[in-house]
Chain A
Amino acid sequence: MGRFRNYLLPVPILPGYLAFIFFNLTTYGIVRFKTETEPVLFGWLRAWLEACIPAVVIATFLYIAAHAVNFSLKKITGARKKRYFYYIGLFIISLAYTLSQSLTDPDLPELSSRAHFRNFVHIFVAVSLIGNLYVNMRREIEEKMAALTLVQAQNKVLIESEERSRATVANFLHDRVQTALVTVTMQLSEIAKKISPTERSKINSIIAEMEHIRGVDVRTAAQRLSPDLSVLGLGPALQLCVDALKPAIRSKIYISDTAKEWAKPHISREHFHLGIYRIVEQATLNAAIHGRAKNVSIYIDLHYNQGEDVIFIDVINDGALVASPTIPGTGSAITAGWLSILGGTSDLSNTEDSKVKLHLEIPLEK
C-alpha cells in the first residue's frame, strides 16, 4: 500500500502535458483544415481557430480525467485496488488521447483499426513508463528528504540535549562549587587569624591557591562547558574561550562596529550567540588539533544582504592547508550541526597567502 500511496498521477507535470496535447492537436488541425485557396496567413489563422475548439475540449477532458483518477486514488484503500485503478486510469487517458488524435490527425482517419490499436498501445506504454518513472523518482526523493529531515531533527535534539547537560554541570561548578570554595576559604581565613604568624602565612598561601583554583580553574572549566552568554555577551565569552587555549594557539577577535551592538547580551539572542560561540570554538580547536596552527584570527561582521541581516564570520588560521575534498572526521560535525539549526552556510578554503579560511554566513533570526 505504501508504494501505491504515492501512485498519484503526475499532476505537477499535467500543465506541460496538456500544453503538449494542445499544441499537437492544433498543429494537426492546421494541416487538416487549411485550404490552398485562401491567403497564407488567413488560412492558417482560420485553421488554427477551427482546431482550437476540439483541442480545448479534449485537453480539458484529459485534465478532468487525470484529476478524477488522482482523486479516486486518494480515496481508494488497498494497494491492489490502487494499482488496478491506476492502470485503468492510464488506459482511459491513453484511449482518450488516441481518439483525440484520430479526430484531428489528417492521416489517422484513413488508417486501419489495427493501426489505431497499435497507436493506442504505444501511447499507453509510453504514459505508463513515464508515470512509473515519475512516481518512483518522487518516492525516492521523498524518502531521502524524510531521512534527511529525521537526521537533522535528531542532530538538533542531540545538540540541545548536550548543551543542557553542559549547562547543568557548569551551573553546578559555578554556583555550588565556587560558593563552597568561597565559604571554605572564608572559614580558613577566620582560623588563620587565631594562629601563629608562621602558620598563618602557610594558610594564607593555601587560601591564595584555593582562590586561584576557584577564580581561574573552576571558572574557566564552567565557561568552557557552557559560556555565560546572558551575562558576558558573545565577544567577552569568545575571548575567554580562546584565551583558555593559550599557549597552544593564539587568537585575536575582531568584531565590527555594526556587530558590536548585536553581540551584547540579550535573552532573545542567547541561542544564536551560543551557536556562533560553538562554531568559532570548534573552528579554533580544529585549527589547533588538526591543522597544528599557532595563530587564529576571528572576524565577526553584520551586513544587510538581500533583504535580511546576515552575520559573516571568518576564522583564518596559519595551520596546514585543507585537502580538497575535506577529510572526513576533522571536526566539522559540530559546525554542520549548528549551521543546520541556525540555517547558515559555510565554506572552508585555502587563501592566496597560504592560510586556511572558514567562511560562514548566517542570516539573523527574524
Chain B
Amino acid sequence: MYEGKTRVVYVENDPALRGILSSQLEQRAEISLTGSFSSSEEALRTCDYKKVDVALLDLALGAESLNGTELAMLMREQNPHIGIVIYSQHNAPDYLNSLSDLVRWGWSYVEKRGDGKIDNLVDILISTSKGRSTFDVSHPEQSSEESVISQLSLRQRQIMSLAATGLDANAIAKELQLAPITIRQELSRCYAILVPNPSEGTDLRTSAVLKYLREVRRDGEI
C-alpha cells in the first residue's frame, strides 16, 4: 500500500482491452496503476515489483511470450509478497488447485467478462494484495434439455417472430387481425416463459426477443 492506495501492475496483450480497463482502474481512488504492459518481457524489463502490491495478468499473453502464470512466478521471485490476479477468458475450474500450496496464497483467478463490474475486480485486487485468494468465474445459463420454444403455443411463436422483426404490439395485432390487448397479454406470457428471472435493469422485450432468436437457432442443432 502506498498513501492508502493499492499499487497495481496490469499486463494484457490486447491493446483495446488494456486501454479500457487501465482507464477504469485509473479512475478508482483506492487503486494506483503503476504500470500497464503489453507483454511479459516488457513487464519484466520495465517494472520494479518491490513497489507493487498486486499484479493483474492475462493468462495467454501470446505464443512467443511467457504466460500469466509463468510471469507471476518470476514476479514472486522479485517480490514474495506480491498478490497475483489472473484475468482470463478460460473458465478453468481447477486452476487454483493446480497451483502448489506454497504459492497459492494471495493468488486469485477472475474470468474476463464484458459485463464484469469494475467494483468487483477492484475488491478482488485489494483482497488479493492482502493475501486472500478468490476464484471468480461466471456460471453461464446452461441450455435446458428441452427447448424453451416448445413451451410457447403456436400463436405465441407467431407473435414472438413478429416482435423479433421490430413490430410493436399494435402492428402485430394488425398483422394477425387480433385485438392489441390480446397481443400485450400474450407478449407478457411469452416474457414470463423466455425470461423467467430477469435481472435488475433488464428490458424484458429486448431480452425475450434475443432469447427467442437464440432458441430458434438452437432448435434442430445436434
One of A96-104, A132-140, A205-213, A357-365 contacting the partner: A205-213
State whether A202 and B140 are in contact (beta carbons under 8 Å apart), knowing that A186-B114, A247-B145, A288-B222 are contacts in the complex: no
Number of interface residues of A (CB under 8 A): 48
Identify the closest chain B residue to A215 (Cβ). Answer: B140
**Contact residues, B176-222 vs A (CB, 8 A):** 199, 201-203, 206-207, 210-211, 214, 222
With both chains docked as a complex, state the minimum distance between the C-beta of B164 and any C-beta of chain A, in angstroms. Answer: 13
Report A-chain residues with C-beta under 8 Å of the C-beta of B91.
215, 219
Among the listed B14, B94, B138, which residue makes an inter-chain contact with A215, where contact means beta carbons less than 8 Å apart?
B138
State whether A179 and B14 are in contact (beta carbons under 8 Å apart), knowing that A174-B89, A211-B115, A247-B146 are contacts in the complex: yes
B17:A186 contact, CB within 8 angstroms: yes
With both chains docked as a complex, state the minimum distance between the C-beta of B166 and any C-beta of chain A, in angstroms. Answer: 13
B16 at the interface (CB under 8 A from A): yes
B207:A186 contact, CB within 8 angstroms: no
A265 at the interface (CB under 8 A from B): yes
B154 at the interface (CB under 8 A from A): no
**Contact residues, B118-144 vs A (CB, 8 A):** 138, 140-143
Report A-chain residues with C-beta under 8 Å of the C-beta of B203.
198, 201-202, 204-205
A215:B95 contact, CB within 8 angstroms: no
Among the listed B89, B140, B147, which residue makes an inter-chain contact with A175, where contact means beta carbons less than 8 Å apart?
B89
B115:A228 contact, CB within 8 angstroms: no
With both chains docked as a complex, state the minimum distance between the C-beta of A263 and any C-beta of chain B, in angstroms. Answer: 11
What is the bound-complex CA distance between A248 and B220, given in angstroms? 9
A245 at the interface (CB under 8 A from B): yes
B80 at the interface (CB under 8 A from A): no
A179:B201 contact, CB within 8 angstroms: no
State whether A245 and B114 are in contact (beta carbons under 8 Å apart), knowing that A175-B89, A179-B14, A201-B201 are contacts in the complex: no
B89:A182 contact, CB within 8 angstroms: yes
What is the bound-complex CA distance between A250 and B145, given in angstroms? 9
State whether A215 and B206 are in contact (beta carbons under 8 Å apart), knowing that A179-B14, A228-B90, A265-B98 are contacts in the complex: no
Q: Residue-by-residue, is A292-336 near B (CB-CB < 8 Å gives 1, otherwise 0)?
A: 000000000000000000000000000000000000000000000
Identify the closest chain A residue to B207 (Cβ). Answer: A205
Report B-chain residues with C-beta under 8 Å of the C-beta of A190.
20
Among the listed B89, B141, B145, B214, which residue makes an inter-chain contact with A178, where contact means beta carbons less than 8 Å apart?
B89
A233 at the interface (CB under 8 A from B): yes
B50 at the interface (CB under 8 A from A): no
A113 at the interface (CB under 8 A from B): no
B47 at the interface (CB under 8 A from A): no
Of B94, B115, B201, B210, most A-chain CB atoms within 10 Å? B115
B115:A216 contact, CB within 8 angstroms: no
B155 at the interface (CB under 8 A from A): no
Report A-chain residues with C-beta under 8 Å of the C-beta of B138.
211, 215
With both chains docked as a complex, state the minimum distance between the C-beta of B163 and any C-beta of chain A, in angstroms. Answer: 13
B92:A183 contact, CB within 8 angstroms: no
With both chains docked as a complex, state the minimum distance between the C-beta of B160 and any C-beta of chain A, in angstroms. Answer: 15
With both chains docked as a complex, state the minimum distance between the C-beta of A271 and any C-beta of chain B, in angstroms. Answer: 18
State whether A206 and B114 are in contact (beta carbons under 8 Å apart), knowing that A236-B93, A246-B143, A246-B145 are contacts in the complex: no
What is the bound-complex CA distance between A31 and B118, given in angstroms? 106
A258 at the interface (CB under 8 A from B): no
State whether A182 and B143 are in contact (beta carbons under 8 Å apart), knowing that A187-B20, A236-B93, A248-B222 are contacts in the complex: no
Report B-chain residues with C-beta under 8 Å of the C-beta of A245.
222
Identify the closest chain A residue to B19 (Cβ). Answer: A183
Ranked 9 nearest A-B pairs via Cβ: A185-B114, A205-B206, A201-B203, A247-B145, A209-B210, A205-B207, A202-B203, A178-B89, A183-B16
Contacts A184-B114, A215-B113 known; list 11 others, CB within 8 Å.
A174-B60, A175-B60, A179-B16, A185-B113, A185-B114, A187-B20, A189-B115, A200-B201, A205-B207, A216-B143, A233-B94
Chain A positions within 8 Å of B, measured between CB atoms, are 174-175, 178-190, 197-198, 200-202, 204-212, 214-216, 219, 228, 231-233, 236, 243, 245-248, 250, 264-265, 288-289
5 contacts between A and B (CB under 8 A): A182-B89, A204-B202, A206-B206, A247-B143, A250-B145
